[in-house]
Amino acid sequence: MMYAGSFPAKKAPVLTILCALLSGLVVGGIFRLSHLVHSTAGAITPAVIATVVAAVLLLRRAGKKIQPIVEEAQRHLQGGRRELALKSLRAGLQHRVWHPLLESQLRTQIGALLYASSDLDGAIAELARASSRPWESPAFLGCAHFKKRNEEPMKKAFEKAIKVGDKESLSYTVYAWCLASRGQKDAAVKVLEKGIAKLPADQRLKTNLELVQAGKKMKVAPYGDRWAAFALDGSVPGVPKAARGFAQRPGFRQKPIRR
């Protein structure tokens, strides 16, 4: 469960900025002292250029250090080693002072994995410090609060999710499902209507609106593994609903195929 997206910085990359500014000052000083420019004002342009170039190079250098960490976490996750994946991602946080996008992205990944591990308190702590992009980040936070029965924080998180994921049908569906499960039918209807206003051709939202208005259960199967990742109704990613539980049943054996 790894999510990618465009993450705005919550904090500036302190070391990158300091090093880039220092590089600019040095270059500007060299131009001035070497009389390559006729005034201090003339040294500003080369100083700014040097600052930008240094910042770009430092960010690329940080990216090269981060990439192997993310790839390692993905390998662990694909192999079912969730704890090792978490360890790798947490180790990557040491580079956050070099890259403006890193901390919020890693905390989103860590929070999603903790949520999948049923560590709701840990997931809330991480996701609360993560960016609201991609929309799954505040949606997982909303689901964690839903399971903890924290009503107001749940709604606040989901409102962010549908704002960021306003073109994603599933963002409205997850929010409405949680509201309907709490018996808040009118609120769930409003969320689905808001989704239909943004996505008027989405039949899934229209169907679920009719079901909620009729007091019936919403249909979430069309979303497949994307819905299952939120683990709200017992769905498991990659496991069909009809086959749920068979793979884990003690003593279950398949008959050998005879040729």
CATH number at residue 230: 1.25.40
Same domain, 169 and 126: no
pLDDT (0 to 100) of residue 227: 95
Looking at residue 32, what DSSP letter applies? H
Reported as a single tens digit per residue, the pLDDT across 12-63 is 444 555 554 555 445 445 554 565 555 655 556 656 665 666 555 555 665 5
Same domain, 125 and 2: yes
For the record, the structure tokens of 39 come out as 């005034």
Same domain, 87 and 148: no
The residue from 131, 146, 164 where one domain ends is: 131
For the packed helices 169-181 and 185-198, what is the interaxial angle rounded to 10 degrees?
Answer: 170
Q: Which of 9-13, 190-194, 223-227 has maximum average pLDDT? A: 190-194
Same domain, 208 and 162: yes
Q: Terminus-to-terminus CA distance in the chain, angstroms?
A: 39
Query: Distance between CA atoms of 98 and 60, rounded to whole angstroms?
Result: 10
Outline where 184-223 has alpha helix (H). Answer: 185-198, 203-213
Kindly report the three-state secondary structure assignment for every residue of 116-176: HCCCHHHHHHHHCCCCCCCCHHHHHHHHHHHHHCCHHHHHHHHHHHHHHCCCCHHHHHHHH
Query: Distance between CA atoms of 96 and 105, rounded to whole angstroms?
Result: 10
Same domain, 109 and 40: yes
* pLDDT for residue 241 is more than 70: no
What is the domain count for the chain? Answer: 2
Q: Which domain holds residue 188?
A: 132-259
What pTM did the predictor assign?
0.67
Same domain, 55 and 173: no
Which whole number is the average pLDDT over 57-70? 64
pLDDT (0 to 100) of residue 219: 95
For the record, the structure tokens of 146 come out as 């839903």
Assess contact for 58 and 35: CB atoms under 8 A.
no
Same domain, 177 and 227: yes
Same domain, 184 and 71: no
Same domain, 151 and 120: no
The residue from 93, 114, 131 where one domain ends is: 131
Which of 59-63, 123-127, 235-239 shows the lowest mean pLDDT across its residues? 59-63
Same domain, 3 and 127: yes
Reported as a single tens digit per residue, the pLDDT across 128-163 is 988 788 899 999 999 999 999 999 999 999 999 999
Same domain, 127 and 183: no
Query: Distance between CA atoms of 205 and 220, rounded to whole angstroms?
Result: 10
pLDDT (0 to 100) of residue 131: 79
134 phi and psi angles, rounded to 5 deg? -70, 175
The residue from 131, 158, 180 where one domain ends is: 131
Same domain, 75 and 167: no
Query: Distance between CA atoms of 233 and 52, rounded to whole angstroms?
Result: 50
CA distances from 71 to 2, 92, 254 (A): 10, 11, 35
